[in-house]
Amino acid sequence: MPSQQGRLLLLVVVTFAVSTCVSVASRSIPATAASSLIDEMPVCKFSEVPEYRNGQTCDALDRGSSESACDPRLVRVAMTLDLRYLRGTVAAVHSVLKHASCPENIFFHFVALSNSDLSQSDGLEPVLRATFPSLRFKVYGFDQRRVDHLISPSVRRALDSPLNYARNYLAEMLEPCIGRVIYLDSDVIVVDDIHKLWEVQLSGSSIIGAPEYCHADFAKYFTGEFWSDSGLSAVFKGKNPCYFNTGVMVMDLSRWRAGDYTSRMEGWMAVQKETKIYELGSLPPFLLVFGGNVTPIDRRWNQHGLGGDNVSGSCRSLHPGPVSLLHWSGKLKPWDRLDSGEPCLVDYLWRPYDLHKPTGGSRTTRHEMDRLHRLKKMF
């Protein structure tokens, strides 16, 4: 347990990191190493977003009412919030507001790591308020000790972050009056009215809705040991499960609570600790619990894989068809590739929503303009 002085140093480092937009791991920073981070922090800020106003057909909601948090007319979006992906989260929120028909009626539920030593929300919440002065939102603390003992190593270290598992606990963290939420990863851009996604009705007994990809080889998401164990693989008996990406989901939290689905997720994670039945972090427990009972949503709402695979992060093109949401799932993120000077063409679709303000000089080079011109020819 760090001393009081150590905890204070942690808070200073996190606050400084937020104000300078440093990309560090979303976990507690040892006090002995905290000072070494400061010299590596580049200066950056976020531009303040102008207020986005509702259209004439939108319901007028009272911002000051104590009951507004439970207002069923609000569109609710849940996202994680951490230092590593803060730039992506800010861009994602910006894109949602920019394309929404009723932006004032959207409420964001952000989940940040929190433990006895430090809450990242202490530094992150002020950044959001400064960037989005009129945004309706609340930050919830997620104690990583709830899940640390259940996490197994996966194919990419970033997938092992405790915050990747926070979506498993949304039904517990959010107020009981909240029965429904859209979950979005931090590496997405919404280019359509999110109210359309909110209006998707979950069919039958479905707990979640998501774009499904039934052409994908579902078996590859689990090990041979899983498929050879009839007791484990029986979970899919009588079902026709399809792969779905958990970065975009419509979630029925009321049904989740009633069925205690958090315990079911934790049960499969405990099995994984004893017997390796999958490789990909927080995704497989969702496939195990919900595979075969997902309300399919139009794939335009998750053009995923734009960050490449989990090993090389190579450039990928958009899938054919209309697009409502772009998702840079995979190893590399658009802000990293843009900053490196070697972006993929699709990364220029993310850039207009980037509110990051680096110091000195223009961000657009002749080389980048040439790439942007090539991208425009694709449409």
Q: What's the per-residue H, E or C state across the chain?
A: CCCHHHHHHHHHHHHHHHHHCCCCCCCCCCHHHHHHHHCCCCCEEECCCCCCCCCCCCCCCCCCCCCHHHCCCCEEEEEECCCCCHHHHHHHHHHHHHHCCCHHHEEEEEEEEECCCCECHHHHHHHHHHHCCCCEEEEEEECHHHCHHHCCCCCCHHHHCHHHHHHHHHHHHCCCCCCEEEEECCCEEECCCHHHHHCCCCCCCCCEEECEECCCCHHHHCCHHHHHCHHHHHHHCCCCCCEECCCEEEEEHHHHHHHCHHHHHHHHHHHHHHCCCCCCCCHHHHHHHHCCCCEECCHHHCECCCCCCCCCCCCCCCCCCCCCEEECCCCCCHHHHHHHCCCCCCHHHHHHHCCEEECCCCCCCHHHHHHHHHHHCCC
One digit per residue, the tens of pLDDT, for the chain of length 379 reads 444 544 444 444 444 454 445 444 333 344 333 333 333 333 358 999 989 999 889 988 877 654 567 898 999 999 999 988 999 999 999 999 999 999 999 999 999 998 644 456 667 889 999 999 999 999 999 998 899 999 887 656 666 789 999 999 999 999 999 999 999 999 999 999 999 999 999 998 999 999 999 999 999 999 999 999 999 999 999 999 999 999 999 999 999 999 999 999 999 999 999 999 998 789 999 999 999 999 999 999 999 999 987 677 689 889 889 999 999 998 899 999 999 999 999 999 999 999 998 755 445 555 555 555 555 444 3
| Long-range pairs for 268-274: beta carbons < 8 A, 24 or more residues apart | 269/147, 269/150, 269/151, 269/152, 270/150, 271/232, 272/152, 273/150, 273/152
Burial of residue 44 (CB within 10 Å: 0-12, 13-18, 19+) is middle
Instruction: Give the pLDDT of residue 65.
Output: 56
Instruction: Give the pLDDT of residue 372.
Output: 52
Instruction: Give the pLDDT of residue 331.
Output: 86
**Residues 75, 77, 81: CA angle, nearest 5 degrees:** 155
Query: What distance in Å separates the CA atoms of residue 101 and residue 108, rounded to the nearest whole number?
Result: 16
Q: Is the CB of residue 363 less than 8 Å from the CB of residue 343?
A: no
Q: Which domains does the chain have, with CATH numbers?
A: 1-26+42-50+71-379 (3.90.550.10)
pTM equals 0.84
Query: What distance in Å separates the CA atoms of residue 285 and residue 282, rounded to the nearest whole number?
Result: 6
Instruction: Give the pLDDT of residue 373.
Output: 56
Instruction: Give the pLDDT of residue 309.
Output: 77
